[in-house]
């Protein structure tokens, strides 16, 4: 019974890791989108604010993902 619980927990952690890696990948692609927005005319200040916020979210997501990896 205990091994079933451990296996389920490991499976849940691996699923969480997969989801977080997907989110991280999406966030990284969003950086490229910001560059494109600036190229088509969005003001530098607006892009800078959005980029700073996005980079902070990427950093937070990386830390959480690393914590998940360490817990495995």
37's CB contacts (< 8 A; 6+ apart) are 47, 50
Identify the domain containing residue 23 by its residue range.
2-71
In angstroms, what CA-CA distances link 48 with 28, 29, 35, 52, 57? 15, 16, 10, 6, 14
pLDDT tens for 16-65 read: 999 999 999 999 999 888 888 989 999 999 999 999 999 999 999 999 99
Type and span of the H or E element at 68: helix 44-71
In angstroms, what CA-CA distances link 55 with 5, 16, 32, 72? 37, 21, 12, 26
pLDDT confidence band for 8 (50 / 70 / 90): confident
pLDDT confidence band for 1 (50 / 70 / 90): low
- In this prediction, residue 59 carries a pLDDT of 96
- In this prediction, residue 25 carries a pLDDT of 94
How many domains in the chain? 1
């Amino acid at each position: 019974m205990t091994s079933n619980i451990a296996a389920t927990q490991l499976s849940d952690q691996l699923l969480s890791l997969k989801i977080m890696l997907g989110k991280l990948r999406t966030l990284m692609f969003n950086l490229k989108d910001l560059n494109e927005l600036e190229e088509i005319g969005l003001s530098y200040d607006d892009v800078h604010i959005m980029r700073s916020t996005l980079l902070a979210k990427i950093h937070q997501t990386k830390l959480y993902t690393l914590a998940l990896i360490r817990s495995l």
